[in-house]
Amino acid sequence: MSKRFGVILPAAGKSSRFSHQQRKKPFVDLKGRAIWLRAAEHFVNREDVAKTVIVIAPEDREYFTTKFQPNLAFMDIEVVDGGAERVDSVERGIAAMPDDIEYIAVHDAARPLLTKKWVDRVFQAAVESDAAILGIPVTSTLKRVADSMIQETVSREALWQAQTPQVFKAEVLRNAYKVRGKFVPTDEAQLVEKAGVPVKIVEGSAMNLKVTTQDDFRMAQALVDHLPKESLPRTLHPFSDEPSGLF
């Protein structure tokens, strides 16, 4: 029997570094579909996902439910009001999860460029280890800066850039929230780490970017039609020695 996953899409941020179409970044159209819809579609069509929740700012609810009501109904997505910080919004998403959900995945609503294979990898890793996230190794040289002056060059050895989905056994994530106190993590993995649970990192792709700035949006526009395609059965490729697909 397959595991039952629940998915939380946080979309309650202020989008202070992003301004386009006078809308917050998850709600902006990206080549025909809103960014959050492109993020959600990677989960709602999965047989192992039993519940999907999007968490939005209360002041956005009227606009959001009016604009996207057909999508919400068709995709069976529940809308939950968020809190002051991301960690509060995710906690409200957790509260909306039924008791029979075994694993909870948190995926940025502003991170629209996924593939099924990347999601499969991190879901499977979470089942094997109770906590797993997507990420990529840091490849650029890192500098610590103060007042626009370089203070030191930081070694990038063993450093990874965290991405989402971040997936956890439901009881692990719930317990991490119970003991967090006033701690405000930058992502769910940090909270779970602080609770003493090891988190596995699964290599994703630099294409799995989060739309935070206008430059990110332009990159997403360029990449959205060039995501790795799923490999088709060999029999469908009579002129190829190997199935198509990059990953």
The CATH number linked to 51 is 3.90.550.10
The residue-averaged pLDDT of 225-242 equals: 58
Q: Give the orientation angle of helix 35-44 with respect to helix 116-129, to 10 degrees.
A: 60
Residue 242 is encoded by which pair of tokens?
Answer: 């190997």
Look at residue 234 and tell me whether its pLDDT is greater than 50: no
- Tell me if 173 sits within 8 A of 104, measured CB to CB: yes
In this structure, is residue 139 part of a structural domain? no
In this structure, is residue 150 part of a structural domain? no
Give the residue with greater pLDDT, 238 vs 156: 156
In this structure, is residue 77 part of a structural domain? yes
The residue-averaged pLDDT of 202-231 equals: 92
* Pick from 188, 13, 233, 31: nearest CA to 112: 31
Each residue's pLDDT tens digit, 173-186: 999 999 999 999 99
User: Which amino acid does the sequence have at 180?
Assistant: R
- Tell me if 71 sits within 8 A of 44, measured CB to CB: no
In this structure, is residue 146 part of a structural domain? no
The pTM for the full model equals 0.90
Range of the domain at 195: 5-134+162-236
Look at residue 127 and tell me whether its pLDDT is greater than 70: yes
Residue 225 is encoded by which pair of tokens?
Answer: 């039609």
Q: Which of 21-30, 181-190, 234-243 shows the highest mean pLDDT?
A: 181-190
Look at residue 233 and tell me whether its pLDDT is greater than 80: no
- Tell me if 81 sits within 8 A of 92, measured CB to CB: yes
pLDDT of residue 221: 96
How many domains does the chain fold into?
1
In this structure, is residue 143 part of a structural domain? no
In this structure, is residue 69 part of a structural domain? yes
